Structure 1
Amino acid sequence: MDVPREGAKRKKIIRRAIIVTVIVAAIPLITYGLSRLKPAAPSVEGGTLWTDTVKRGPMIRQVRGLGTLVPEDTLLIPAINEGRVQKIVLRPGALVKADTVILVLANPELELAAEDLKWQVKAAEATMRDLEVKLETAKLDLRSAVARVESEFVQAKLKAERDDALGKEGLTPDLTIRLSRAAADEAGKRFDIDKKRLEISGASAEAQIAAQQVNIEKLRAAYVLKKQQVDGLRVVAGFPGVLQQMAVEEGQRVAPGTILAKVVQPTHLKAEIKIPETQAKDITIGQLAQVDTHNGVIQAKVSRIDPAAINGNVTVDLRLEGDLPLGARPDLSVDGTVELERLSDVLYVMRPVFGQPNSVIGLFKVTPDGKEASRVQVRIGRVSVQTVEVLDGLKVGDRVVLSDMAAWDGHDRLRLN
């Protein structure tokens, strides 16, 4: 038979009350504990991340830019006169000498003008010879007249002397003596005048010949100039090298000053590279550089810095100092690296995807066990092409993630798988 238990109901009520009390007290504690827990870190495949270890030692500051090889010696050949392209003798790529004809222009009006000046010169020379003959003839006539007047003067003088002698003997009247003396004086004056006329005629002849000679020289100069213009219709290279560009086609009409062709010397090349203006401020003339032609690296030096920035870039010329590798030619795309300075003892790491000089950036530092990465603030100083100087936030041996981590900007921790 059943025996009733005394106090069982009361114990059951007390036990339930204790359980409820424990549960009520545990809920806030659990809630508080959960609130203190960190959110679960997202997982990232570690093999896809680019990392590097912070080091201390020498660091070379460099800047890099893209560019092309360009000739140091370039000749643009302009059209001297108007004309039509009659014949293109050579095409780009041809080796040329200074006197090599590369194309021929046609200008009938210019050729006709040169031929007309040629005959004008011949006509002026013929006129010169005719003038010389005429002047020589006139000079001979004057000499003949002077000789005749001189003879008359001598005769008149002798007659006057004879009459004077006869007059002293009383054989000639005084009137005859005076008439003889007058005739001799007249002949003497005419002789003096004709001698001066002969002298003046010589000077006049020289002046006429000189004037005609000036006219001939003027025509000759005009003809030489026109002849040079005609010869210029046969366009030559100007100096030895390679014909790089032909800017016209056969049948094309060109005006004076139109660029016809471009000749370069392919063995004398330099590199023109574009450097971002924010990085070009430390570049100076004479700094060491390297030019990568993708078929070899050439040592170089900075030879010129463009004073103006175009589209955010500064053009820097690099003078090549080594032998050109095979395939080096004008307009070849190259990479240029300029060495700014050598830092002897600095804390540095490989350059992250983002980071400007003298700025603070966030980088993920990998834990020693390699299972997690936490974001740290890093202050960087000077930067180079491949490395950056670390001023604060990291120490030697720290391993940091350098990849683009923009996808995890909202997280400060990552799990590395």
Structure 2
Amino acid sequence: MDIRREPKSKKKRWLYVAGGIVAVIVITVALGRLGPAAPGVDRSTVWTDSVSRGEMVRSVRGPGTLVSEQIRWVTALTAGRVERILKEPGAEVDSSTVLLVLNNPDVEIQALEAQRQHTAEEARLTDLRTRLENQRLAQEALVATVYAQHQEAQRTVVNNEELYDKGLISDFELKNSRDRAEELAIRVDLERRRLDVMNEAVESQIGAQKAQVERLRSIAEYRRNLVESMEVGAGVDGVLADLPLENGQWVISGEVLARVVQPGRLKAELRIPETQARDVAIGQVALIDTRNDTIPGRVVRIDPAVQAGAVLVDVRLEGPLPKEARPDLSIDGTIEIERLSDVLYVGRPAYGQANSLVGLFKVIENGDAAIRVTVRLGRSSVNTIEIVEGLEVGDEVILSDMSAYDQYDRVRLR
């Protein structure tokens, strides 16, 4: 006969299922709370530095060039065509050295015309002086003649008065002689006054003609100088730095023909980034790096304008110049801003700016890991930056760019 079996209880099964579900939920929550695993970073690829306390030198750095303190720009005084180039850049020149020769027939013709006009006016001056002198001499002769006639008339009056007293001549004849003497006295005065006026006129006319001659002489000299200027000279002792011309090229008046520098007197022109130039001041100490040597200097001028994101700073060189120093040599310059005593500082991180709050990875566990810490930065220099808070002396931090790990607060160093 069949035996009826009792059905198995499902209660235990449901307990197992519920327990499994709870276990899965607990594990999932726990893993969610753990966060992402710390990534690994090759220690040889990062740059680290330790926090120090002591004196920190604030400085700014910028590229630049060596330039001559005295530069002579040779310009054309007149238009012309380049006939011959006698010197090439790099040649040593003195004040009398001819660099090139220009040619312009029009300038030579103008010089000859100006000389002709000057010569003609000088001839007119000579003719005027001769003519006026003859007129003056003729007037002096007339004054002498009238004066002699006046003297003779006075003697006649004296003689007629004696004859009138003796009754030998009439009263009419005596009065006529007296009138004649008075007339000649007036004529003598008039002719003398005319002579004075003539003398004054001679001086004014000669002076006016001399001024005209002098004016034309200046014009002729100017035209002659233009002709002479077509033999272009250096003007100063130095080195010919640039002569950007070719034979046959036409140049206009005022165009730059050449540049002459004095290599023994150089200064440094540094281009300091505008964000760092606000602390630069005249008189600050500078150090110029020529790649092979260094030259001490001092800031002497700061350009008030910003060009291409940089401020031009002139540095006077105070030390002996190395052999490689020459105009247009590329250099790097460092300007000392100030010295800060007893401050915390570290090497400047790749992404840290002065007076900002940044996150830096501090090395822990004997160099096996690094954790992100918040650090407040202070004043900065070229290679170092002040630590205001967030780090202590001896802390080692990563200065390399760690932006690829911004989502992590911890990294492993291997």
**Structure 2 equivalent of residue 191 of structure 1:** 188
Q: Aligned with 2:88: secondary structure? A: coil
**Structure 2 equivalent of residue 5 of structure 1:** none
**Structure 1 equivalent of residue 38 of structure 2:** 41
Equivalence map 1:17-416=2 (5 Å)? 24=20, 27=23, 39-416=36-413
Per the TM alignment, residue 69 of structure 1 is displaced from its structure 2 partner at its CA by: 1.6
Per the TM alignment, residue 30 of structure 1 is displaced from its structure 2 partner at its CA by: 5.8
- The CA deviation string for residues 43-64 of structure 1, in whole angstroms up to 9 with x for no partner, is 3322232222222221111221
Paired with 1:203 and 1:369, the residues of 2 have a C-alpha distance of 111
Paired with 1:116 and 1:159, the residues of 2 have a C-alpha distance of 65
Per the TM alignment, residue 235 of structure 1 is displaced from its structure 2 partner at its CA by: 2.4
Per the TM alignment, residue 181 of structure 1 is displaced from its structure 2 partner at its CA by: 3.0
Paired with 2:250 and 2:325, the residues of 1 have a C-alpha distance of 35
Amino acid at match of 1:136: E
- The alignment's C-alpha RMSD in Å is 2.8
**Structure 2 equivalent of residue 9 of structure 1:** none
Paired with 2:364 and 2:57, the residues of 1 have a C-alpha distance of 29
Unaligned runs of 5+ in 1: 1-12
Amino acid at match of 2:276: Q
The worse-fitting range, judged by mean Cα deviation, of 23-32 and 221-230 is 23-32
Paired with 1:254 and 1:119, the residues of 2 have a C-alpha distance of 28
8 Å contact from structure 1 (residues 84, 252) kept in 2: yes
Per the TM alignment, residue 32 of structure 1 is displaced from its structure 2 partner at its CA by: 6.2
Per the TM alignment, residue 22 of structure 1 is displaced from its structure 2 partner at its CA by: 12
**Structure 1 equivalent of residue 6 of structure 2:** none
What is the aligned residue count?
A: 402
The worse-fitting range, judged by mean Cα deviation, of 278-287 and 155-164 is 155-164
- The CA deviation string for residues 28-84 of structure 1, in whole angstroms up to 9 with x for no partner, is 566666556565433332223222222222111122111222222222222222222
Unaligned runs of 5+ in 2: 1-8
Paired with 1:241 and 1:23, the residues of 2 have a C-alpha distance of 97
Paired with 2:21 and 2:141, the residues of 1 have a C-alpha distance of 159
Q: Aligned with 1:186: secondary structure? A: helix
Paired with 1:211 and 1:243, the residues of 2 have a C-alpha distance of 48
Mark the CA change 1:244 to 1:169 in structure 2 (over 3 Å): closer, same or farther.
same
TM-score, structure 1 normalization:
0.86
Paired with 1:407 and 1:300, the residues of 2 have a C-alpha distance of 42
Paired with 1:30 and 1:137, the residues of 2 have a C-alpha distance of 136
Mark the CA change 1:46 to 1:189 in structure 2 (over 3 Å): closer, same or farther.
closer
**Structure 2 equivalent of residue 3 of structure 1:** none
Mark the CA change 1:165 to 1:52 in structure 2 (over 3 Å): closer, same or farther.
same
Per the TM alignment, residue 158 of structure 1 is displaced from its structure 2 partner at its CA by: 2.7
TM-score, structure 2 normalization:
0.87
Paired with 1:170 and 1:326, the residues of 2 have a C-alpha distance of 121
**Structure 2 equivalent of residue 10 of structure 1:** none
Mark the CA change 1:263 to 1:21 in structure 2 (over 3 Å): closer, same or farther.
same
8 Å contact from structure 1 (residues 98, 237) kept in 2: yes
